[in-house]
Amino acid sequence: MDDTENGLFIGTKTQLLAAISGTLFAISDGMSYGWTAPMIPYLISEKSHIRTTKYEAEWLETCLMAGSFFGLPLTIYLVDKIGRKKSLLLAAFLSLLSWIAVAFATNMPVLFIARFVFGITANTSFVAAPMYVAEMADHKIRGFLSSVIYLNMLSGLILVYSVGPYLPFYVSPVIGIVVLSLELSIFPFMPETPYYLIHKGKRLEGKKSLGFFRPGKNIDRELTQIVKAVTRQKSEKGNFVDLFVAKGNRKAITIMAILDAGQHLCAISVILMNLHVILEAAGSIYIDSSIAAIIFAVIMFFSAYISSLQVDKYGRRCMLMISLITTAMCLSALAIYFHLKLSGYDVRAASWLPIVAVMFYAASFKMGIGIVPIVLTAELFPANIKAIGMAISDLMYVIGSIVSLQLYQWLNNSYGLYVPFYLFAVSSIVICMYTYFYIPETKGKTLEEIQYLLKDEPIPITNSLVSLVSNSSKSYNTF
In this structure, are 250 and 359 located in the same domain? yes
Q: Are 388 and 341 in contact (CB under 8 A)?
A: no
In this structure, are 170 and 271 located in the same domain? no
In this structure, are 177 and 290 located in the same domain? no
Which of the listed residues 190, 222, 247 is the one where a domain comes to its end?
190
Q: Is residue 374 part of a domain?
A: yes
Give the 3-state secondary structure of residue 307.
Answer: helix
Amino acid at 1: M
User: In angstroms, rounded to a whole number, what is the distance separating the alpha carbons of residues 247 and 381?
Assistant: 12
pLDDT tens readout for residues 305-346: 898 888 888 888 999 999 999 999 999 999 999 999 988 888
CA distances from 25 to 84, 123, 184, 401, 405 (A): 14, 11, 10, 22, 26
How many C-beta neighbours within 10 Å does residue 47 have? Answer: 9
User: In angstroms, rounded to a whole number, what is the distance separating the alpha carbons of residues 50 and 352?
Assistant: 39
Residues 6+ apart with CB under 8 A from 226: 194, 195, 198, 206, 210
Q: How does 339-367 read in b/e, with b if 16+ C-beta sit within 10 Å?
A: bebeeeeebeebeebbbebbbbbbbbbbb
Quick one: pLDDT at residue 28?
A: 93
Q: Is residue 60 part of a domain?
A: yes
CA distances from 373 to 123, 173, 356, 401, 426 (A): 15, 29, 26, 15, 19
List the domain range (segments joined by +) for residue 134.
1-190
User: In angstroms, rounded to a whole number, what is the distance separating the alpha carbons of residues 475 and 479?
Assistant: 8
- Strands, DSSP E only, in 133-229? none
User: In angstroms, rounded to a whole number, what is the distance separating the alpha carbons of residues 199 and 95?
Assistant: 29
Residues 6+ apart with CB under 8 A from 357: 330, 331, 333, 334, 337
Q: Is residue 457 part of a domain?
A: no
In this structure, are 179 and 266 located in the same domain? no
How many C-beta neighbours within 10 Å does residue 403 have? Answer: 14
- The 8-class DSSP code of residue 460 comes to P
In this structure, are 166 and 303 located in the same domain? no
Q: Is residue 302 part of a domain?
A: yes
pLDDT tens readout for residues 129-186: 988 998 898 888 888 888 888 889 989 989 988 888 889 999 999 999 999 999 999 9
Could you tell me the pTM of the whole model? Answer: 0.77
In this structure, are 169 and 241 located in the same domain? no
In this structure, are 19 and 141 located in the same domain? yes
In this structure, are 264 and 400 located in the same domain? yes
Quick one: pLDDT at residue 284?
A: 60
Q: Is residue 206 part of a domain?
A: no
Q: Is residue 475 part of a domain?
A: no
Among 7, 140, 161, 22, which Cα is nearest to 85's?
A: 22
In this structure, are 178 and 67 located in the same domain? yes
Domains: count for the chain: 2
Among 474, 446, 458, which Cα is nearest to 225's?
A: 446
In this structure, are 165 and 259 located in the same domain? no
Q: Count how many Cα atoms sit within 13 Å of the Cα of residue 313 in the half-sphere of its side chain.
A: 11
In this structure, are 270 and 180 located in the same domain? no
Q: Is residue 136 part of a domain?
A: yes
Quick one: pLDDT at residue 236?
A: 66
With 0-12 / 13-18 / 19 or more C-beta atoms within 10 angstroms meaning exposed / middle / buried, residue 73 is exposed
Q: Is residue 195 part of a domain?
A: no
Nearest 10 degrees: Cα torsion 181, 184, 185, 187: 140
In this structure, are 290 and 169 located in the same domain? no
User: In angstroms, rounded to a whole number, what is the distance separating the alpha carbons of residues 119 and 394?
Assistant: 12
Q: What is the CATH number of the domain that holds 395?
A: 1.20.1250.20
- Residue ranges in the chain modelled with pLDDT below 50: 1-6, 463-479
Quick one: pLDDT at residue 8?
A: 61
User: In angstroms, rounded to a whole number, what is the distance separating the alpha carbons of residues 336 and 312?
Assistant: 36
Among 164, 161, 137, which Cα is nearest to 149's?
A: 137
Quick one: pLDDT at residue 469?
A: 40
- At how many degrees (to 10) do helices 84-104 and 72-81 cross? 130
User: In angstroms, rounded to a whole number, what is the distance separating the alpha carbons of residues 309 and 4?
Assistant: 16
Quick one: pLDDT at residue 116?
A: 94
CA distances from 351 to 37, 286, 346, 347, 424 (A): 25, 10, 10, 6, 21
